[in-house]
């Protein structure tokens, strides 16, 4: 993917704005809440950090995805949830406070786990000779692009909560618009192969999405967490931050590969419908 104003300037700025919006919604209390839900948070992190990448790897191999599309799907598996998961959890009567805590913790831990998982995927699917490593300087760039704006957003929330409240909604709308622009740009860039890629990766993305929702809900239930916590974890595991995955895939300073952005783009379109269906299914027969 050739460097351009879109990839060299727009994508890092877009990612910064998105992460700033996330930071505005977080407080230190979201991290302290881990001690209130230690078991639920641990189960959520276990699903997110261990089960999900293993599940995604099996799906990518099982569907025989081309190497770059397989890496793109693994990149998505390594990306944390976001505000959309919190919204869907609220609609499905999940434990939104747990969602917020998982989003906060996952967003920080993903800075460590994401490079490791992506490097594993690059080596496994593209081979040692074709690997595009996230070297130490690129890990630092990822920290700067992601953690910097989140920290600024949290600082604004801490010191100027009134300003944070005024900025949060516009930034959330801006993030949604940026997601659409990034997906559209990815589709336009890869229009020559998008049809073939959709046929190739679409079923795998749908399978991974449904499996993520199922694992995120059923594992907590098997471990005897209550239903509201299980719904929250299901939404957190099933709704990934596709914008982050697409930006990392296409930003020149990071992976610089627009083909790897196709699985997150397709997944981002699918998950809104499957998450709504999931919320309806787990609430059948509920009486408020």
Domain ranges of the chain: 5-280
Residue 165 has what pLDDT? Answer: 83
pLDDT tens digits, one per residue of 192-231: 656 666 777 889 999 999 999 999 999 999 998 888 889 9
> In the predicted model, what is the mean pLDDT of residues 99-112?
77
pLDDT in tens, 55-68: 999 999 999 988 88
Judge whether 252 and 7 are in contact, CB under 8 Å: yes
Using alpha carbons, select from 152, 188, 187 the residue that is nearest to residue 171.
Answer: 152
At residue 239 the predicted structure's pLDDT band, cuts being 50, 70 and 90, is confident
CA-based torsion, 250, 251, 252, 255: positive or negative: negative
Alpha helices in the chain, H assignment, sequence order: 5, 11-24, 28-32, 38-46, 52-62, 67-78, 83-91, 96-126, 136-142, 148-159, 161-189, 194-222, 227-238, 242-250, 262-281
d(CA 104, CA 108): 7
- Residue 271 sits at φ, ψ, to 5 deg, of -65, -25
Q: How confident is the model at residue 132 (pLDDT cuts 50, 70, 90)?
A: very low
Report whether CATH 3.30.420.40 matches the domain 5-280.
no
Least trusted range by pLDDT, from 65-69, 159-163, 245-249, 254-258: 254-258
Looking at residues 238-256, what average pLDDT do you find?
A: 77
Cα distances from 110 to residues 102, 132, 133, 199, in angstroms, run: 11, 19, 17, 29
Q: 83 or 215: whose pLDDT is higher?
A: 215
* pTM of structure: 0.71
């Amino acid at each position: 993917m050739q460097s351009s104003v879109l990839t060299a300037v727009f994508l890092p700025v877009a990612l910064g704005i998105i992460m700033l919006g996330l930071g505005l919604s977080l407080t230190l209390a979201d991290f302290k809440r881990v001690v209130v839900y230690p078991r639920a948070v641990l189960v959520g992190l276990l699903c997110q950090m261990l089960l999900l990448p293993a599940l995604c790897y099996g799906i990518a191999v099982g569907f025989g995805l081309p190497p770059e599309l397989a890496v793109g799907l693994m990149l998505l598996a390594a990306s944390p949830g976001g505000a959309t998961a919190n919204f869907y959890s609220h609609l499905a009567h999940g434990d939104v406070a747990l969602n917020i805590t998982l989003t906060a913790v996952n967003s920080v831990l993903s800075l460590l786990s994401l490079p490791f998982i992506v490097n594993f995927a690059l080596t496994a699917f593209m081979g040692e000779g074709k690997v595009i490593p996230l070297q130490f300087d690129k890990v630092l760039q990822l920290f700067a692009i992601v953690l910097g704006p989140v920290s600024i957003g949290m600082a604004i929330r801490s010191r100027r909560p009134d300003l944070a409240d005024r900025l949060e909604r516009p930034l959330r709308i801006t993030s949604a618009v940026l997601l659409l622009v990034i997906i559209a740009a990815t589709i336009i860039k890869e229009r020559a192969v998008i049809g073939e890629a959709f046929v190739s990766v679409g079923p795998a993305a749908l399978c991974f999405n449904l499996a993520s929702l199922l694992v995120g809900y059923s594992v907590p239930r098997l471990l005897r967490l209550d239903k509201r916590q299980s719904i929250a974890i299901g939404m957190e595991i099933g709704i990934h931050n596709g914008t982050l995955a697409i930006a990392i895939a296409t930003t020149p300073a990071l992976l610089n590969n627009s083909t790897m952005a196709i699985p997150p783009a397709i997944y981002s379109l699918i998950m809104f419908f499957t998450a709504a269906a999931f919320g309806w299914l787990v609430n059948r027969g509920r009486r408020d």
